[in-house]
Chain A
Amino acid sequence: AQTVTQSQPEMSVQEAETVTLSCTYDTSESDYYLFWYKQPPSRQMILVIRQEAYKQQNATENRFSVNFQKAAKSFSLKISDSQLGDAAMYFCAYRGGQGAQKLVFGQGTRLTINP
């Protein structure tokens, strides 16, 4: 079974600085997808960024980028120019290929932004 591990329960960063959240996963599949979801306090979870395993290029969405290391099974999220609105729980998630529908989530990292 696939597993996703986030080893940082909490992280904090100064506003306007850069922070990196770590994620590792375990799978025997070669075709899969990786995601970072953001869950603000008392609000719904939203997709931040996604990466297809077959793509070597790291995904980027504005201030959010990933460092995808397939051989190491590592998928970190970098947030540049941190803003107060970035404060949330961040979950790394895995989905298998070939029509798989289930997302496997990590335990989450709580990110605090210090003004």
Chain B
Amino acid sequence: DTGVSQNPRHKITKRGQNVTFRCDPISEHNRLYWYRQTLGQGPEFLTYFQNEAQLEKSRLLSDRFSAERPKGSFSTLEIQRTEQGDSAMYLCASSLEGWSGRGELFFGEGSRLTVL
């Protein structure tokens, strides 16, 4: 297992276009998280899934953002009608239910979005 995989790694788009990011978590992990990180800041929570159910959404996740995790495997994060303020690194992480042991989130390398 190579860990959490995110694609594409970098996306440049024009304002108003739609973009979609994909996250493939560690295979046995049933929890999946999306965070957004802007330059010089710590990651901010967007949403998380347990299996295919989206259990929590941040107020940062406006109506233009939608996340899915069909069949409880990979997840997609779509941003519609992108704005320059959406430019950020979008991080995906996964974990095992229960936060047992070290309670560790495993992060991907992120997908960087640049909106022109």
Cβ-based interface call for A75 (8 A): no
Q: Convert B84-105 into 0s and 1s, putting 1 for each residue whose CB lies closer than 8 angstroms to a CB of A.
A: 0000000101000001001111
Number of interface residues of B (CB under 8 A): 27
What is the CA–CA distance of A86 and B30 in the complex, to the nearest angstrom?
A: 31
What is the interface of chain B mostly: helix, strand, loop, or mixed? loop
| Residues 25-48 of chain A, each 1 if its beta carbon lies under 8 Å from chain B, else 0 | 000000001010000001111110
Residues of A within 8 A of B99 (CB): 33, 95
Q: In the complex, which of the residues B42, B48, B55, B102 contacts A50, with contact meaning CB atoms closer than 8 Å?
A: B102
Q: B72-116, CB under 8 A of A: which get 1 and which 0?
A: 000000000000000000010100000100111111111000000
- Chain A residues within 8 Å of B42, by CB: 4, 6, 91, 93, 105-108
| Residue B3 lies at the interface, judged by CB distance under 8 Å to chain A | yes
B41 touches A108 (CB 8 A): yes
Within 8 A of A (CB), among B48-89: 48, 55-56, 58
Could you show 7 A-B contacts with beta carbons less than 8 Å apart? A4-B42, A6-B42, A33-B99, A45-B43, A46-B107, A95-B103, A102-B45
